[in-house]
Amino acid sequence: MSMSRRQRTRAVRGVQYGVLALVVAAVAFGANWGEIRRAFFDLDVAQAQFPDIITTALVNTVVYTLLGFGFGLALGLILALMRLSSVPPYRWLATAYIEFFRGVPALLVFIALGFGVPIAFQVVINQYVTVMLALGLVGAAYMAETIRAGIQAVPKGQVEAARSLGMSQGRAMRSIVIPQAFRIVLPPLTNELILLTKDSSLVYLLGLSLGQYELAKFGRDALNENRSLTPILVAGLCYLIITLPLGHLVRRLEARTAKAR
């Protein structure tokens, strides 16, 4: 007797739940919980990370992220406008930039700016400037495409109406198109902010002083000092303090955008 589609779906789901239950049971009964507690949940080690992990590492992570996001957003807007330009060289330059920085790992950008540029040009670059440039250059490549899509999503009739009222193309873009485009792309831009928050962990490559540590570097040094993975877990929870509210904000913005449509 053949099963209906609904019955097959229920059967497959039942098998999936059964496999999941077996995996959970195997982990629960097979794991060495004493060793796990010692490695990941050492309360004495966790308490020793405070308040520095908040007042220094968490604050620095937020500062690095905001610096990179601000620079990347400004550069991304310029690149988006260049991609939409009627001047071919502008489009070519913007396209080359976007394809290059979307294809190159952020790790290499940090190394190039942190070590390559100072050696090549015999200059000393402030650490905060280096972080801003590295995060911003990579983030701009992604934000440019997001902003470009937002600009193209604005109905062309609005620009034509503005031009009929005597507005120049530039003024219509500044006053009408770009504000609407940013409202459209706000959720994906917030997602980019979350990604930059995690990319800020690459700052450790620059050899920071103690007062410049971000969460990943702080947790890594504490791990080496205490021979425990607890500091890494605490650092991960601190990242969640930043990213979970941002993720909730993205969902709220997406819901609001969907209602507006």
Q: What CATH number has the domain bearing residue 191? A: 1.10.3720.10
Q: Residue 74 pLDDT > 90, yes or no?
A: yes
Q: Residue 98 pLDDT > 90, yes or no?
A: yes
Q: Residue 118 pLDDT > 60, yes or no?
A: yes
Q: Which pLDDT score is estimated for 257?
A: 66
Q: Is 3 helix (H, G, I), strand (E, B) or coil?
A: coil
Asked if residue 25 belongs to a domain, the reply is no
Asked if residue 29 belongs to a domain, the reply is no
Asked if residue 32 belongs to a domain, the reply is no
Domain around 84: 49-260
Asked if residue 19 belongs to a domain, the reply is no
When the pLDDT of each residue in the chain is averaged and rounded to a whole number, the result is 86
Q: How does residue 220 score in pLDDT terms, banded at 50, 70 and 90?
A: confident
Cβ within 8 Å of residue 193, ≥6 positions away: 65, 69, 246
Q: Which pLDDT score is estimated for 225?
A: 83
Asked if residue 137 belongs to a domain, the reply is yes
Interval 71-91 mean pLDDT: 93
Interval 171-192 mean pLDDT: 84
Q: How does residue 2 score in pLDDT terms, banded at 50, 70 and 90?
A: low
Q: How does residue 141 score in pLDDT terms, banded at 50, 70 and 90?
A: very high
CA gap 143, 122 in Å, rounded: 31
Q: Residue 259 pLDDT > 70, yes or no?
A: no
Asked if residue 98 belongs to a domain, the reply is yes
Asked if residue 195 belongs to a domain, the reply is yes
How many domains does one find in the chain? 1
| pTM score of the predicted model | 0.82
Asked if residue 89 belongs to a domain, the reply is yes
Query: What are the φ and ψ backbone dihedral angles of 76, each rounded to 5 degrees?
Result: -65, -40
Q: Residue 53 in contact with residue 235, Cβ under 8 Å?
A: yes
